[in-house]
């Protein structure tokens, strides 16, 4: 049995010059938990040189019960994969690794009252799956999704989160009651401004959403995004008494380290 699925691109959306997303067919054998990632690539003949397809880790942005897969990607001008991937069109073939994995799953967190999902840029992707999983709302009373980007245009999926999900036939009520979405922009005027780290250390985030400052006795955190965010947020959490969780060892926070620059 091959260790990859070959899927077909269904839809492509270009958000900005540097961000795009796409959906593909989903093999019924493709199983994953909300927040996990798979290896993804183009068939070898679509790339220069022969041999194995070039694969990169991509979080699955669609819910685990959807019959399609969604991915959210940056475009790296000379990136070996994304320079090609950004030109895909409906009908093109995509290679998806069979094995989904990753630390950003709620099983890796101890129980708690509020779940904070902190993302910059395409780090939003795994949380698009998490916020559409009813189990997330069974485990937590409140879910706070913070998305930090440079410009308003980079607030991808904003309409889905702000408008479509609260009106969703099945999830609408849960989401309206429990999900707080906090988009923040660093390089132009917007209702919320500033880096996630600063919003947390200054207390501005908590003032704005009406919740108390982070407390490991009550709150759980998942982080995904730029290496700088992860490097700066980790000591903030550790100093506040949060312990990192891993597969088989639930903790107060989890972070995905699988994504290098891509
Ligand atoms: P900033 O504009 O101040 O650099 P990028 O597009 O570079 O991946 O950044 C995405 C978002 O993450 C931007 O809003 C950026 O803010 C922010 N960011 C960059 N570094 C950090 C950090 N160390 N902590 C928190 N946010 C960060």
Q: Mean of the pLDDT values across residues 164-185?
A: 98
pLDDT at 54: 86
Annotate the chain with three-state secondary structure.
CCCEEEEEEEEEEECCCCEEEEEEECCCCCCCCCCCEEEEECCHHHCCCCCCCCEEEEECCCCCCCCEEEEEEECCCCCCCHHHHCCCCCCCEEEEECCCECCCCHHHECCCCEEEEEEEHHHHHHHHHHCCCHHHHHHCCEEEEEEEECCHHHCCCHHHHHHHHHHCCCCHHHHHHHEEEEEEECCCCCCCECCHHHHHHCCHHHHHHCCCCCCCCCEEEEEECCHHHHHHHHHHHHHCCCCECECCECECEEECCCCCCC
What is the 52 CA–ligand 1 centroid distance (Å)? 34
CA pair distance 76, 85, nearest whole angstrom:
10
Query: Among the listed ranges 48-52, 86-90, 246-250, which one has the minimum average pLDDT value?
Result: 48-52
Is 198 close to ligand 1, i.e. is its CB under 6 Å away? no
Select from 82, 80, 71 the least CA-distant residue to 22. Answer: 71
Q: Are 182 and 147 in contact (CB under 8 A)?
A: yes
pLDDT for residue 262 is more than 50: no
Is 123 close to ligand 1, i.e. is its CB under 6 Å away? no
pLDDT at 32: 98
Q: What atom of ligand 1 comes closest to residue 232's alpha carbon?
A: 23
pLDDT for residue 244 is more than 60: yes
Is 150 close to ligand 1, i.e. is its CB under 6 Å away? yes
Is 187 close to ligand 1, i.e. is its CB under 6 Å away? yes
The pLDDT tens digits of the residues spanning 56-69 come to: 999 999 999 999 99
* Percent of the chain's residues with pLDDT above 70: 95
pLDDT for residue 168 is more than 80: yes
Q: Mean of the pLDDT values across residues 205-215?
A: 98
More confident position, 165 or 248:
165
Q: Which residues are 6's β-sheet partners?
A: 95
pLDDT at 73: 96
pLDDT for residue 83 is more than 50: yes
Tokens of 117: 């999902």
Q: Mean of the pLDDT values across residues 82-99?
A: 95
Is 149 close to ligand 1, i.e. is its CB under 6 Å away? yes
pLDDT for residue 260 is more than 70: no
Q: What atom of ligand 1 comes closest to residue 226's alpha carbon?
A: 8
What is the 118 CA–ligand 1 centroid distance (Å)? 12
Mean pLDDT for the chain overall = 94
pLDDT for residue 79 is more than 80: yes
pLDDT at 47: 52
Is 148 close to ligand 1, i.e. is its CB under 6 Å away? yes
Q: What atom of ligand 1 comes closest to residue 121's alpha carbon?
A: 10
Which domains, and CATH codes, for the chain? 4-97 (2.40.30.10), 106-255 (3.40.50.80)
- Output the pTM of the full model: 0.96
**Where residue 187 falls among pLDDT bands split at 50, 70, 90?**
very high
What is the 150 CA–ligand 1 centroid distance (Å)? 7
Is 201 close to ligand 1, i.e. is its CB under 6 Å away? no
The pLDDT tens digits of the residues spanning 22-69 come to: 999 999 999 999 999 999 999 876 555 556 788 999 999 999 999 999
What is the 166 CA–ligand 1 centroid distance (Å)? 28
Pocket test for ligand 1, best of 148, 199, 236 (most atoms within 8 A of CB): 148
pLDDT at 261: 45
pLDDT at 2: 83
């Amino acid at each position: 049995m091959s260790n990859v699925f070959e899927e077909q691109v269904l839809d492509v959306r270009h958000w900005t010059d540097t961000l795009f997303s796409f959906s593909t067919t989903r093999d019924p054998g493709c199983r994953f938990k909300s927040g996990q990632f798979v290896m993804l690539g183009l068939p070898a003949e679509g790339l220069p040189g022969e041999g194995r397809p070039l694969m990169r880790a991509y979080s699955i942005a669609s819910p685990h019960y959807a019959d399609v897969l969604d991915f959210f990607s940056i475009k790296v001008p000379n990136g070996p994969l994304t320079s090609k991937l950004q030109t895909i069109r409906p009908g093109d073939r995509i290679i998806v690794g069979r094995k989904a994995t990753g630390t950003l799953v709620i099983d890796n967190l101890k129980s708690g009252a509020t779940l904070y999902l902190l993302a910059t840029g395409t780090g939003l992707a795994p949380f698009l799956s998490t916020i559409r999983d009813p189990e997330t709302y069974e485990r937590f009373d409140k879910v706070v999704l913070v998305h930090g980007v440079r410009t308003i245009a980079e607030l991808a999926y904003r309409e889905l989160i702000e408008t479509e999900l609260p009106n969703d036939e099945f999830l609408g009520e849960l989401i309206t009651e429990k999900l707080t979405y906090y988009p923040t922009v660093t390089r132009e005027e917007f209702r919320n401004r500033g880096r996630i780290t600063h919003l947390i250390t200054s207390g501005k985030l908590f003032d704005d959403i009406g919740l108390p400052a982070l407390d490991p006795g009550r709150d759980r955190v998942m982080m995904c995004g730029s290496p700088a965010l992860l490097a700066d947020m980790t000591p903030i959490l550790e100093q506040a008494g949060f312990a990192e969780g891993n597969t088989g060892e639930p903790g107060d926070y989890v972070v995905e380290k699988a994504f290098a620059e891509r």
